[in-house]
Amino acid sequence: MKLAAFFRPKSKVPSGAAQAVISRLGAVPILPPFTWQGKGPRAQSRLGEILAKALEPECPDAEVFEPLRRFLASPQASDFDHLSDAAARILVFAGVSAVRELPRELAAQLSGEVQRHANWIQAERAAQGPRRVLQSGALVLAGLGWPELPGASRWWSAGLADLGHSFPGGLHPDGGPREGSAALLFRQVQLLWAVAQVCEKASVALPAGLVSSMGKASTFVRDLGTGGGLPSLGPDPYEPLLGQDTNWPLAQAQARGWAPGVETPGESKDWVMRPLRESGLVLLHAKVAGKASRVVMDLHTGQVIWHVGGQAVLVEQGLRCMDRPESWKPELKVARVDGRAAAVLWTSTGRRGEWTRDLRAEGSRLMITDRIEGESLQVRWRFGEHLELNRREKPGQWLLEGGPKVRVTLDMEQATWVTQAGPELHGVLGPGVRHRSRFEV
């Protein structure tokens, strides 16, 4: 297949260097501007900052090129301990090369790094799972973005064929991940939309199964992220590759007709529920106090997370508060919507008891009723880091301040004890006790 002319280099690189330079005319996708949120000395943080600066039109070239040169000269450039990092690096190299006119020596050095990284990924790709998806996507970017590098045609053809089954196979029917966290799925989706745009410009067709799966996963990410960014659920707290905008992937899918045009959650005062039973989540969205609000309930642990206006208000721990969480078997018994209220009835059975949690969202109020049979239950409410918890004169009542003001009311008579420890409230329920916790904006 003859590739489009814009994949060809504009000028020859120095003799002896790789003879391919990615073009600024569209060989890689239009990436969303973003601010890198990660911190620390790791390679991913350093490269994330470089790509974010490169995507800022007003940022001088020197503030992009000099940090990139320092990275390529550092020991971290040869560190392949993290398989997923090599894939992320190729995306960064492609993104910087697409939006900036690189000096010839830096362009040659970067294409050499792409050659080295792609060869290593092809030899060391994970057997399965999210990291294999990231690595296969990076091979497509490397092969189509630098088509004249030795092995480029093998990279992109093998990577694309693998994505046709590895990504769909890693999703539940509702679009959620079978393995890894929602943050790791977000990474995959961001990179795959870069792959999709490159394939379109190179007139390379995507596998049919990949197309529908990207639409499902993009919808999942958008719904989970609306009203507060991706909540911290499950393992692998990965930083996104291209910023925190969870709507960008779905916008890409809808522009191509790969996902239905549906209303953004949280636009109405009425609570809207989306049970994601296969992924083990229930999402509740509404507009509270004029701001988008989202409640996430993790059906695996009973954990409840509540955001109002993009800020975390309540971040509860669920089964992780209990002595033997591995012995409990959770189940969603009822999920219903009634007018302006949404309610979830969740139960989990352990070796010596049963824990029932009734969550109800109504207007600007979230009420959680817990009941334990057989053994004691620890109630532990943790609140957003930006909020300050102040005790009120009325027993069992506190006020969260520093963001959306939230009144917290606990049933003091039903808990064995309730204490405040910094931004947390702790209590213990005895067997047979029903306890109600109320949070109201």
Contact (Cβ atoms closer than 8 angstroms) between residue 356 and residue 370:
yes
- What integer pLDDT is reported at residue 301 of this predicted model? 85
- Rounded to two decimals, what is the model's pTM? 0.87
Q: Which CATH number is 5-255 given?
A: 1.50.10.100
Per-residue pLDDT of the chain (441 residues; tens, 9 = 90+): 333 333 323 323 333 233 334 444 445 567 888 888 776 667 778 888 999 999 999 999 999 999 999 999 988 887 766 556 889 999 999 999 888 889 999 999 999 999 999 999 998 888 899 999 999 999 999 999 999 899 999 999 999 999 999 999 999 999 999 998 899 999 999 999 999 999 998 889 999 889 999 999 999 999 999 888 888 776 656 788 899 899 999 999 999 988 887 777 878 888 989 899 999 999 999 999 888 999 999 988 889 999 998 889 998 877 766 656 667 788 888 888 776 788 898 988 877 678 899 999 999 999 999 998 887 888 889 998 888 999 888 888 999 998 889 999 998 888 777 788 888 898 888 888 889 999 999
User: In the chain, where are the structural domains located?
Assistant: 5-255, 272-440
Query: What pLDDT shows up at residue 326?
Result: 65
Q: Do domains 5-255 and 272-440 have the same CATH topology?
A: no
Chain centre distance of CA 316: 19
CA-atom Rg of the chain in angstroms: 25
What secondary structure does DSSP assign to 361-409, as a single string?
Answer: EETTEEEEEEEEESS-EEEEEEB-TT-EEEE-SSTTEEEEESSS-EEEE
Closest CA to 222 of 253, 268, 258: 253
Class of domain 272-440: mainly beta
Position 248 scores a pLDDT of: 93
What pLDDT is stored for residue 83 in this prediction? 52
The contacts of residue 180 (CB under 8 Å, 6+ apart) are 129, 130, 234, 235, 236
Angle 5-192-9 (CA atoms, 0-180°, nearest 5)? 20
Residue 30: count of CB within 10 angstroms of its CB: 11
SS3 track for the chain: CCCCHHHCCCCCCCCCCCCCCCCCCCCCCCCCCCCCCCCCCCHHHHHHHHHHHHCCCCCCCHHHHHHHHHHHCCHHHHCCCCHHHHHHHHHHHHHHHHHCCCCHHHHHHHHHHHHHHHHHHHHHCCCCCHHHHHHHHHHHHHHHHCCCCCCHHHHHHHHHHHHHHHHHHCECCCCCECCCCHHHHHHHHHHHHHHHHHHHHCCCCCCHHHHHHHHHHHHHHHHHHCCCCCCCCCCCCCCCCCCCCCCHHHHHHHHCCCCCCCCCCCCCCCCEEEEECCCCEEEEEEEECCEEEEEEEECCCCCEEEEECCEEEEECCHHHHCCCHHHCEEEEEEEEEECCEEEEEEEEECCCCEEEEEEEEECCEEEEEEEEECCCEEEEEEECCCCEEEECCCCCEEEEECCCCEEEEECCCCCCCEEEECCEEEEEECCCCEEEEEEEC
